[in-house]
Amino acid sequence: MKLEISNLTKNYGEKEVLDNINFSFESGKIYGLLGRNGAGKTTFFNCLNEDIDIDSGKFLLDGKKLTVDEIGYATATPVVPEFLTGKEFLQFFLDINESKIDKKKSLDDYFDLVQLSKEDQDILLKEYSHGMKNKMQILINIIANPKVILLDEPLTALDIVVQEDMKKLLKSLKKDHIIIFSTHILELAIDICDEIVVISNKRLELIEKKNLNTKNYKDKIINQLKEEAND
For the chain, domain boundaries: 2-80+146-230
Half-sphere exposure of 142 (CA within 13 A, CB side): 22
Calculate mean pLDDT across residues 172-181: 88
The rounded distance, in Å, linking the Cα atoms of 107 and 38 is: 38
Looking at residue 218, what is its pLDDT?
67
Output the CA torsion sign for 184, 34, 167, 122: positive
Total length of the chain: 231
The rounded distance, in Å, linking the Cα atoms of 162 and 133 is: 13
Q: Do residues 115 and 38 lie in contact, with contact meaning Cβ atoms separated by under 8 Å?
A: no
Instruction: Using pLDDT thresholds of 50, 70 and 90, give the confidence band for residue 154.
Output: confident
Looking at residue 228, what is its pLDDT?
55
Looking at residue 45, what is its pLDDT?
93
What would you report as the CA-atom Rg of the chain, rounded to the nearest whole angstrom?
18
**More confident position, 54 or 229:** 54
Supply the mean pLDDT for the chain. 85
Does the domain spanning 2-80+146-230 belong to CATH 3.40.50.300? yes
Half-sphere exposure of 165 (CA within 13 A, CB side): 14
Residue type, 210: K
Calculate mean pLDDT across residues 175-184: 88
Q: What is the pLDDT of residues 6-58, one digit of tens each?
A: 999 999 988 889 999 999 999 999 999 988 777 788 999 999 999 999 999 99
Q: What is the pLDDT of residues 109-138, one digit of tens each?
A: 999 888 888 999 999 999 998 888 888 988
Query: By C-alpha distance, which of 43, 70, 37 is closest to 57?
Result: 43
User: Given a cut of 90, is residue 200 above it in pLDDT?
Assistant: no
User: Given a cut of 80, is residue 159 above it in pLDDT?
Assistant: no
Q: Is 106 exposed, middle or buried (0-12, 13-18, 19+ CB in 10 A)?
A: exposed
